[in-house]
């Protein structure tokens, strides 16, 4: 007899209020958004029954997400997956979890919320919607401000640091100044400097020198940058040298 995990899980939720299952890419989105996310879900009448969290490396980001979710939603069940440091390995773990729903019958009382900007998981969410499931993408408001190119509903959460606490200024009182306009295709120097600082804080240099390119990408993803912006930031790192190819590629700076 075939055991349909998604049907079993959703059948247990039918008698409860509308429920949301979270699929969190811990390498892509910061755990500070956990409380904001759960407050949003409550405003639309949904509970967070279970979360699947996946990330690469030693698992510190996964554990941080687990702690943040349990603090925001006491009693929530969190299933953690720590994947090897390999490109998209954490995404694959989440896709295996999503696959059980893809092959199951849609349940209108269950919402699948995928917390990631990565193209692979965005595509997976689109596939779920095409199969009739209720699904959406949740992301943090990144500094790049670039919108995702998808027809799936996208919820953008603002982190506490991004709340503007400056008093409103009447534009007519501003002195006349000349402002240098940054080219649209190039990130500004402050953004690049902040990214470099974050990389050096979170990563240890490789024994051969530099940092694993995949690990650098994960740090930039955690800052809210999509693939295009990550590439632009890396290209603007001063004195950058790229060594190796594929999974062995290192960025020396």
List the CATH number of the domain containing 43.
3.40.50
Do residues 136 and 198 both lie within one domain? Answer: no
Query: Is 146 within 8 Å of 228 (Cβ atoms)?
Result: yes
Query: Is 76 within 8 Å of 105 (Cβ atoms)?
Result: no
Q: Count how many domains the chain has.
A: 2
Distance CA 116, CA 156 (A): 11
Task: Establish if 9 belongs to a structural domain.
Answer: yes
Task: Establish if 148 belongs to a structural domain.
Answer: yes
Task: Establish if 139 belongs to a structural domain.
Answer: yes
Do residues 85 and 198 both lie within one domain? Answer: no
Query: Is 28 within 8 Å of 62 (Cβ atoms)?
Result: no
Q: Which of 116, 140, 160 is the last residue of a domain?
A: 160
Splitting the chain (253 residues) into consecutive groups of 10 residues, what average pLDDT does each group show?
A: 48 55 87 86 81 81 89 88 78 88 88 89 92 90 66 82 43 39 62 86 80 82 77 88 81 87
Instruction: Give residue 12's pLDDT.
Output: 47
Q: Which of 104, 139, 160 is the last residue of a domain?
A: 160
Do residues 151 and 34 both lie within one domain? Answer: yes
Task: Establish if 167 belongs to a structural domain.
Answer: no
H helices present in the chain, as ranges: 5-13, 34-43, 60-72, 89-102, 119-130, 189-202, 213-222, 227-235
Instruction: Give residue 17's pLDDT.
Output: 55
Do residues 144 and 48 both lie within one domain? Answer: yes
Task: Establish if 180 belongs to a structural domain.
Answer: no
Instruction: Give residue 142's pLDDT.
Output: 65
Task: Establish if 176 belongs to a structural domain.
Answer: no
Instruction: Give residue 112's pLDDT.
Output: 93
243: containing domain: 189-252
Task: Establish if 26 belongs to a structural domain.
Answer: yes
Instruction: Give residue 146's pLDDT.
Output: 63
pTM, rounded to two decimals? 0.59
Closest CA to 224 of 145, 171, 120: 145
Kindly tell me the burial class for residue 92, based on how many C-beta atoms sit within 10 Å of its own C-beta (0-12, 13-18, 19 or more).
Answer: middle
């Amino acid at each position: 007899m075939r055991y349909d995990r998604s049907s079993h899980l959703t059948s247990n939720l039918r008698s409860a209020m509308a429920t949301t299952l979270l699929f969190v890419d811990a390498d892509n989105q910061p755990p500070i958004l956990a409380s904001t996310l759960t407050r949003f879900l409550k405003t639309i009448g949904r509970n967070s029954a279970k979360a699947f969290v996946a990330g690469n490396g030693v698992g510190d980001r996964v554990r941080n997400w687990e702690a943040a979710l349990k603090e925001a939603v006491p009693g929530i069940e969190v299933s953690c997956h720590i994947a090897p440091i390999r490109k998209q390995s954490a995404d694959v773990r989440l896709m295996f979890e999503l696959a059980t729903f893809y092959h199951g019958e849609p349940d209108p009382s269950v919402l699948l919320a995928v917390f990631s900007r990565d193209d692979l998981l965005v595509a997976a969410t689109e596939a779920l919607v095409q199969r009739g499931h209720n699904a959406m993408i949740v992301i943090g408001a990144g500094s790049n401000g670039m919108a995702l190119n998808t027809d799936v509903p996208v919820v953008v959460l603002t982190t506490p640091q991004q709340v503007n606490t400056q008093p409103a200024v009447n534009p007519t009182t501003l002195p006349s100044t000349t402002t240098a306009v940054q080219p649209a295709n190039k990130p500004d120097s402050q953004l690049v400097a902040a990214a470099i600082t974050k990389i050096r804080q979170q990563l240890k240099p490789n024994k051969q020198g530099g940092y694993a390119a995949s690990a650098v990408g994960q740090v930039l993803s955690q800052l809210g940058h999509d693939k295009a912006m990550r590439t632009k930031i890396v290209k603007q790192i001063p004195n950058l040298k790229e060594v190796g190819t594929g999974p062995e590629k290192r960025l020396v700076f």
